[in-house]
Amino acid sequence: MLVLFETAAGFAVFKLLDEKKIQNVENMAEAFLTAESAANVVQLSEFHKFHDSAEALAASVSINEGNMCKSLKVLIKKVIKKELHKQLLVLDAKLGNSIKNKFPELNIVSSSHVSELIRCIRGQMNSLIPGISEKESSAMMLGLGHNLARYKLKFSPDKVDIMVVQAVKLLDDLDKELNNYVMRAKEWYGWHFPELAKILTDNTSYINTILKMGFRENASTTDLSEFMSEELSDRVKEAAEVSMGSEISDMDICYMRYLCTEIMELTAYRSHLHEYLTHRMVSLAPNVSILLGELIGARLISHSGSLLNLAKNPASTIQLIGAEKALFRALKTKKQTPKYGLIYHAELITKAPTKCKGKMARMLAAKVALATRVDAMGEETNYDLGINHRVALLSKINLWNSGKSHKISGQSKHFTPQSYISDNRAGQGHYSARQDSTITGIKKDEDQDLENNTPSKKIKKDEKPLITEMVESPEKKKKKKKKN
C-alpha cells in the first residue's frame, strides 16, 4: 500500500509497512511520536524535488484544482514500475479521480484514516525525507505560500481597490462630521455674535475669524485681511460695534476655539485624503477617472464593492447605480423610471443641455462600461481610451449647444455629400413634382401634362369629385318635456 504525500519541496511516495496501524485512528498518533517509530510504519519509496519556485507554484495550483501536473505523472509512473502495490492512498478525492482516470490499474483510497495518516507523516516529515532540513523546509513553505496567495489574489500594489472603497467612505463620513461641527459652531458662537454668520457665508472664513478674533469686542483691533477681503472685514467690524449678541465668559470662548481648532484639523485631513484618493484612482482606474472624475468613479467602485464587480455590470446598470430606491419605487407604481444615478454629478452631464441630459447619461454610461473593463482587466495602464471617449462626448455636447443640425443615425450609409454633388453634375439631382403627393392617379396625369405643356381637362360642375368631405349633420337635441 502506497501513500502520496505533497510538500513544498516536492512530491513523495511512501510505502506503508504496517497496514494495521491505520485501522485505529485514535492510536495512530502514538506510532509517530518519534522518528524511529515513524520509520517502522512508513518508508520513503520515491521523492521528486521541485527545481524552482515556479514549478512548485504550478504543481500547487494543479493540485488545488484537482488536476495532475507533469512531475506527478512522471513520479507515479516510476512507482508503478518499481513497486507491485496497486493501492494508493490520496488526501484529496478530486486529485484521486484524476489519477484514477490516468492510471486505471491503481486503486485509489481517500478517507478520514488517510487524512490522519498524512497528518502524522507531516509531523515527522524532516526525518522521513532525507536531504531536506527543517530550516530549508520552512523557507520553501513560506515562499510557496506567498506565491500561491499572490497567484490567487493577483495582487498588485497599484491596483488595490479596497483602499479606494475605504477612502471614499471615510471622505463621505468626514463631510458629514464637518457639516455637523460647523453648524454647531455657528449656533454656539451665534449667541455672542449672530450677525457674523450672515456676513461670512464661507465656513472656513467663519471658523478662522472665531479663532483669530475671539470676542466680538476685538474685531476693531484684529487684522482679518488674511482670509477675507477688505470690504467683508469692514462689514464685520461695523456689525461687531452694534451687535445684538449676549456676553460670554473666557471659558466659553476657550471651548469654542477648541471646537474650531478641531474643525480646521479635520478640514486639513480631508484635503489630504482627497488628494490621496485622487492618486489612487489615477493608478487604479485611469480611464474611468478621465470620464467621470476621481470622486464619482470612486463612489461607483465603492457601491459595486470592487472594480471587477463594476466591470461586470452593463451600461444600463452603471447608469442607474445609486438610484435603486427610485427605480424600484417607479417600477412598483408603474411610473417613469429614473434616468440618472451617481453619474448625474459628472462634468459631462452637467455641461449637456437640459433636454439632452438623459441622452448624455446613456452615452456616458456606455463609455464608462468599456473603460471599467479596460481598467480592470487590461494588462497595461493606458489613458487613450478615456481621452478619446471624452473628446467624442465633448464634441457631441458642443454640437447640441451650438444648435446645428447633425446627421441622423444610419443616414451616411445611403447618402453622402459627394454623391449628392455628383448627381447634380450628372443632371440627376433635379426637382420632381411627382414626389410631393401620395395620391397617384391625378398627380401622375398632372405631372405629365406639366411636362408636355398641355392643358389639363376641366372637371365639370355636375361631376362629383373623387374625394368628398363627409360632414355629419348635428343631431337634433331632444327637448325635455316640462313637467306639469
Which residues pair with residue 3 across a beta bridge?
Answer: 14, 89
Which of 105-114, 239-248, 265-274, 327-336 is least confident? 105-114
Q: In the prediction, which pLDDT does 454 show?
A: 46
Task: Tell me the residue length of the chain.
Answer: 484
Which range is most confident: 114-118, 289-293, 479-483?
A: 289-293
- The total of other beta-carbon atoms located within 10 Å of residue 331's CB is 10
Locus of grid cell 467602485: 301
Q: How far is CA 76 from CA 1, 3, 119, 374, in A?
A: 13, 11, 21, 44
Higher per-residue confidence, 347 vs 52 = 347
Residue 408 has pLDDT above 50, yes or no: no
User: Does domain 163-276 bear CATH number 1.10.287.4070?
Assistant: yes
pLDDT digits (tens, 9 = 90+) for 55-68: 888 888 888 888 88
H helices present in 154-228, as ranges: 161-189, 196-199, 203-213
For 179-200, the pLDDT digits (tens) are 999 999 999 999 999 999 999 9
Q: Which one-letter amino acid corresponds to residue 360? A: M
Q: What is 2-153's CATH number, 3.30.420.130, 3.40.50.720, 3.30.420.220, 3.40.50.10210?
A: 3.30.420.220
List, in sequence order, every beta strand (DSSP E) within 8-104: 10-16, 42-49, 87-89
C-alpha cell at 205: 472664513
Map residue 88 onto helix, strand or coil: strand
Strand order in the sheet with 10-16: 42-49, 10-16, 2-6, 87-89, 107-109
What is the residue type of 366? Answer: A
> Where does the pLDDT of residue 446 fall: very low under 50, low under 70, confident under 90, or very high at 90 and above?
very low
Q: How confident is the model at residue 422 (pLDDT cuts 50, 70, 90)?
A: very low
Q: Which helix (H) or strand (E) holds 4?
A: strand 2-6
Percent of the chain with pLDDT over 90: 35
Q: Can you tell me the mean pLDDT for 282-306?
A: 92
Q: Place domain 285-400 in its CATH homologous superfamily.
A: Nop domain (1.10.246.90)
Name the more confident of 32 and 395: 395
Domain boundaries, the chain: 2-153, 163-276, 285-400
